[in-house]
Structures are given as C-alpha cells and as structure tokens.
Amino acid sequence: MDLILFYSRKLFTVLKNEVLVLPSRVVVVLFFLLLLLLPVFTKDPYLLRIFTLTSIFAILAASWDLLSGFTGQMNFGHALFFGVGAYGAALLNLHGHIPPWGTIPLGALGAVLAGLIIGIPCLRLRGTYLALTTLAFPIILMGLVFAFPNLTGGDLGISGIARLARSRVANYYIAVVVMLGLCTIMWKITDSNTGIIFHAIREDELAVRAAGINTTRYKLLAFCLSGFFAGVSGGLYAHFMRIAGPSTLEVSMSFTVVIWAIFGGIVTIYGPVGAVFILFPLLEFLRFWQEYRILMFAGVVLLILLYMPDGLFPWLRNKIEKECPRCKIRSIATRKTCRVCTASLD
C-alpha cells in the first residue's frame, strides 16, 4: 500500500515538475492518450484503418530519420527495408505457416540482413554518391521480383496472408502500441551514447574517427537498426493489408518516406512521426478530390518548405519554447527567465 502511494506520488511529481512545464511534453502525452483512447470514441472502420496505416508508416519515417537524419547517411532506398520486411513476412507466413507475431520479427531480421548487405558497399561512399546509389537497391530487388513470378507473385504480389488480428480494433491497437513502443525505443537510442556518436558522425566524421571511434561500425549499426524498424513496419503492413506487392519497393515509396521525414524535421524522431500523422490522413481525406490529391500534397509540401526549411515541428517547437542561453534547458516561451537557472531568456 505504501509502495503504491509512493509511486503515485512520484508519478504526480514527475507530471507536475517535468511534463506540465513544457508544452511540447504535454503535447506528446496528449498524443499518446488520444491514440490509445481513439477506439473508445469512435468505431468507424474507415477512420481506424487510416490510423492503423498511419501508425505503420510512422515507424517507417522514424526509422529513416534514425539512419539518415542522425548519421547523415542519406538513404534514398528506404523502400528496400520496407519491401524486404513485407515480402519476408509474407513468404514465411504463406510457406512456413508461422503466425504474424513470429513472421514480423523474422522479416525484420531479413531487413537487417539487407541493411548489412547494402551497408557494406555503401559505406565507402558519402553524401550524394551514397544517396544516389542506395536508390538503386530497391529497383534491383524489384527487377528480381518481376523476374521470378513463381516465388514472389510478380506484379500481383503475395496475397492470402494471415490477418494481424481478428477485429479492426485489435489491429489498430497492435499497430499503435508497436508504433509508440518502437518510436520510444528509437528516441531512447538517439538519446544514448550511441545516439551522440551518430550525431557526431553527421557533424564531422573525421573528428569522430580522430577521437578513436570506429565510425564504419557505427554507421553499419545505424543501417541495421534502421533496417530492423523499417522491416517491422513492412511486416505489419503486409499482415494488415494481407498482401505484399511490388508497390512496397517502388521509387515513389522511398521518396514519400524522405518527404515525410524532412517535412516533419529531421534529427528529431518526433518530427517524422508527427509529419506522417498530418500528411497521411490529409492525403486520405483529400480522396474526394481524387485527381488533384497528389498535386495538393506536393503543393502543401512546397509551401511549407518555403517558410520553414528546417521542417514543421522544430519550427513550431521554437515558437512555443525557448532555450536557456546559459544551461541549455528549454522553457516555455511565455517565461522571462529560465525555469532552472533563472537566467534571463532574451
């Protein structure tokens, strides 16, 4: 009893002193609550379907950020990981009769393997070379998919995969909980020592190497981690849509991921996730304007970029919060002094 009281009091203090003081943290908590409580308010299958897909793609966008945003290794072929995850899960499910909770991690391991295979040659390249070379890998795989239609189903893809779960609500909860969990893990990774090394590699690789850190190993680690998370999202997608087709490997898929991530703001993890939650439903709700849908999408992206080239979310965050010039701790923008060291904020 005392223990419960202790933890509830601790929760209350943390909430009061750490969460409620910063608007961005409040927003994150509200986001978690809203997503977890959504099926309580509405059971509309269309809405649930959109948010399930949104969650799946949010994992993908965040995983791109983990690799390309943090380590600066521009990956234009992120669809490769997604596609390998999807096809891996589908093949294992169809031929190996493994249920979804087994196929998705195994498919993701396949994507890790793909990350290793493309990572090893690609790490000799940098910058634009790397970006343009990675673009090639999903296309090569797509050629193979079309060339061996017996195994991969060719144009039609692999269909008849097991459902993720019986009901729509269960599907929704699986996708959302996995998304929230994985994104928290990614955020934790980027906050750890490894994440700091990733940051440093982007800023100045030579300096990191001079500090005695094997940058190749860390870049490969980034490829594998990112591949794993993208593979999970691919597996979820295959089991949710019950089909793994060549559309998962398309160039436009890779480009869309890049658009989501940069639109939301790279090197943040929360940026890409938020961007998917804005752009993907927006694209769906514009469906009544079928013909102008993608045009509007491109227009919105172009306009937003002209005014906030660093991405939407970092811009918003800088509007509502200020960083203390002395202790680098953020406070709400309405305060005159820092909430920790009371230095003046202007």
Residues that bind other proteins (CB under 8 A): 121, 124-125, 128-129, 131-133, 135-137, 139-144, 146-147, 251-252, 255, 258-259, 262-263, 266, 291-292, 294-295, 297-299, 301-302, 305-306, 309-310
Q: How far is the CB of 315 from other proteins (least distance, A)?
A: 12
Minimum CB distance to other proteins, residue 332 (Å): 27
The nearer residue to other proteins, 38 or 131, going by C-beta atoms, is: 131
Name 92's Cβ contacts closer than 8 Å, sequence gap at least 6: 98, 102, 103, 106, 107
In the chain, which ranges are continuous DSSP H helix?
2-14, 23-41, 45-64, 79-96, 100-122, 128-134, 136-147, 149-152, 168-191, 193-203, 205-210, 215-241, 251-264, 270-285, 293-307, 312-320
Residue with smaller CB distance to other proteins, 128 or 334: 128
In the complex, the smallest distance separating the C-beta of residue 164 from other proteins, rounded to whole angstroms, is 30
3-class DSSP state of 20: coil
Judged by beta carbon, residue 60 or residue 174, the one nearer other proteins is: 60
CB of 257 to other proteins, least distance (A): 11
CA distance 31 to 77: 30
5 versus 306: smaller Cβ distance to other proteins: 306
CB of 23 to other proteins, least distance (A): 25
CB atoms within 10 A of CB 18: 10
Distance CA 272, CA 268 (A): 8
How are the residues of the chain apportioned to helix, strand and coil, as percentages rounded to the nearest 5? 75, 5, 20
Q: How far apart are the first and last CA of the chain?
A: 47
Nearer to other proteins, 112 or 145 (CB): 145
User: Any bridge partners for residue 244, and if so which?
Assistant: 158
Question: What is the Cα–Cα distance from 300 to 138, expressed in whole angstroms?
Answer: 27
Q: Which is nearer to other proteins, 139 or 185 (CB)?
A: 139
Query: Could you tell me the smallest distance in angstroms from the CB atom of residue 252 to other proteins?
Result: 8
